[in-house]
Amino acid sequence: MNTLDLFLKKLPASLRDQLYGVGGAIRDHILSKQGQIRPLGDIDLACSLPPHAMLGAFEQLGMKVIPTGLKHGTITVLCGDSKYEITSFRSEKGYSDFRHPDEVVFNVTLEEDLSRRDFTMNALAIPLAHMPNESWNPFLIDPFGGREDIHQKVIRCVGEPNERFTEDPLRMLRACRFASQLDFEIHSLTLEAVAIKADLIRHVSRERIVDEFNKLLVTNSARGLEAAIQTGLLDEIFESKSSCRSYFKERPFIMKASCSIGERWYLLIDWAMKAHDRGSLESNLNQVLTKFPLANRERDLICSLFDSQKMVTAISQDISPLTEEKMYTLRLNLSQIKQQGLDPMCFLRVHSVANPSLSDLEFIWVKVLSTNPPLLIKDLVLKPSEIIEFYKLTPGSWIRSVQEYLLDHVLRNPPENTQSALRNHLSKYDIKV
């Protein structure tokens, strides 16, 4: 028995008939029927009972209930390992903070409740009693044509798009994210409204924007990013002084590269900064990273990639003819990249997306890496214990300087990474303890 069946079994018919599945779970079920397999996520429920009556009904059943947002009609009901967020039918008025309603009205119809939702594909409902059935379609409640929009692969606002985006400007970025995530087209009137209301995105918290971007950037479709650029939404998010549109138009999209989310954030920030006069790279990067609360791992990666921009450009401009000294420089650079915890080929791939002229460098790096040269101290065949034994000294910080000396030697001449060659080289080192 699945968790939903278990939940339903605990409900009397009088309460079960008051509940409806709504939103994304219904959309994803329809998509699955169309062959686009999507996992059934959390099921949001709507209830015809007003908040306190709804709360009391579940408490009387002895179920664990959390009044997570009772002011706005929302409770969370625990059943086994599952949580069900249930919200009373409601309508809303006024959004002075561009997110939360100033006034919430209960005792409304299901259609009125669905009318406050963002997009028609999310304004769908099914009586809870019918949700475990193999086919939900005969019981689908669809007052705004959401099912047809799903069939047509269209993202369209419920009602007046300008109103929906004024209520919560994050919906504009959500439309872009869904375009990439579902490979849907944004309806022309909805897209026009994004362009009109794009500046309102500055009222949205950076945490919410980052969360939406993270969902967008893990997709492999450029549709959402293209829409954000086309409408000027990306300009507003990054507070660009001049339009990003022409800059992005001439460059390959990051979504087409096999990059991690951190690498895509780097490319996105880099391109947005280059789209207008950014002044000092360091100061502007700090400003951007302050505004966008990214995970530490992603911040560190972005900083490393920005730090290496000049290095990789300089390498690419000075590789012909490929002398022994230049080969040493290439290996040294590869060593520096690996010391930062970066995969050299991944590193080069990211920079090549931003700068296609680096493609020639990729061939040479592949050739260098194919020989498996020693690039890190741990690659040295001579271990710390052997160095200590050679010098007959007490272990200390001096070992690191010896290792760095040996690594530089084998970067110049990789075949020298042998026990005999390194021991011979140790005798030439002026050790300082």
Query: What pLDDT is stored for residue 135 in this prediction?
Result: 67
Q: Is the pLDDT of residue 357 over 70?
A: no
List of residues 6+ apart from 217 with CB closer than 8 A:
254, 255, 261, 264, 265, 268
- DSSP string for 167-211: H-THHHHHHHHHHHHHTPEEPHHHHHHHHHHGGGGGGS-HHHHHH
- Among 69-78, 130-139, 371-380, name the one with the lowest average pLDDT: 130-139
- Among 47-56, 102-111, 152-161, name the one with the lowest average pLDDT: 102-111
- DSSP string for 366-400: HHHHHT----SGGG-SS-HHHHHHHHT---STHHH
CB 67 within 8 A of CB 88: no
**Max avg pLDDT among 26-40, 87-101, 414-428:** 414-428
Task: Give the three-class secondary structure for 292.
Answer: coil
Task: Give the three-class secondary structure for 327.
Answer: helix
CB 46 within 8 A of CB 113: yes
What is the tens place of the pLDDT at every residue in 171-199? 999 999 999 999 999 999 999 999 999 99
Q: What percent of the chain shows pLDDT beyond 70? A: 86
List of residues 6+ apart from 128 with CB closer than 8 A:
8, 16, 19, 20, 21, 45
Span 411-428, average pLDDT: 92
**CA dihedral sign of residues 383, 385, 388, 392:** negative
Q: Is the pLDDT of residue 7 over 90?
A: no
Domains parsed from the chain with CATH numbers? 1-144 (3.30.460.10), 153-293 (1.10.3090.10), 308-370 (no CATH), 377-426 (no CATH)
Sole residue written with tokens 């140790």: 426
Q: How confident is the model at residue 19 (pLDDT cuts 50, 70, 90)?
A: very high
CB 254 within 8 A of CB 264: yes
Query: What pLDDT is stored for residue 246 in this prediction?
Result: 60
Q: Tell me the average pLDDT of the chain.
A: 85
Structure-token pair, residue 81: 């390992």
Q: What percent of the chain shows pLDDT beyond 90? A: 45
Nearest to 175 by CA among 189, 156, 159, 195: 156
List of residues 6+ apart from 247 with CB closer than 8 A:
271, 274, 275
Q: Is the pLDDT of residue 399 over 60?
A: yes
Structure-token pair, residue 282: 């360091």
Q: How many CB atoms lie within 10 A of CB 428?
A: 8
What is the tens place of the pLDDT at every residue in 229-285? 889 998 898 887 665 666 565 555 666 666 788 888 888 888 777 765 555 566 678
Structure-token pair, residue 395: 């272990």
Structure-token pair, residue 138: 């005969």
Query: What pLDDT is stored for residue 251 in this prediction?
Result: 54
What is the tens place of the pLDDT at every residue in 113-143? 999 999 999 999 999 888 766 666 778 999 9
Query: What pLDDT is stored for residue 277 in this prediction?
Result: 57
Nearest to 124 by CA among 226, 27, 4, 190: 27
Biggest CA–CA distance in the chain, Å, is 90
List of residues 6+ apart from 237 with CB closer than 8 A:
173, 201, 209, 228
Q: Which value, to the nearest 10 degrees, does the dihedral of the CA atoms of residues 307, 309, 311, 317 take? A: -170
Task: Give the three-class secondary structure for 293.
Answer: coil
Distance CA 346, CA 261 (A): 12
CB 139 within 8 A of CB 126: yes
What are the Cα distances from residue 3, in Å, to 8, 43, 81, 277, 312? Answer: 9, 11, 8, 55, 54
Which phi and psi angles does 102 have, rounded to 5°?
Answer: -75, -25
Task: Give the three-class secondary structure for 336.
Answer: helix
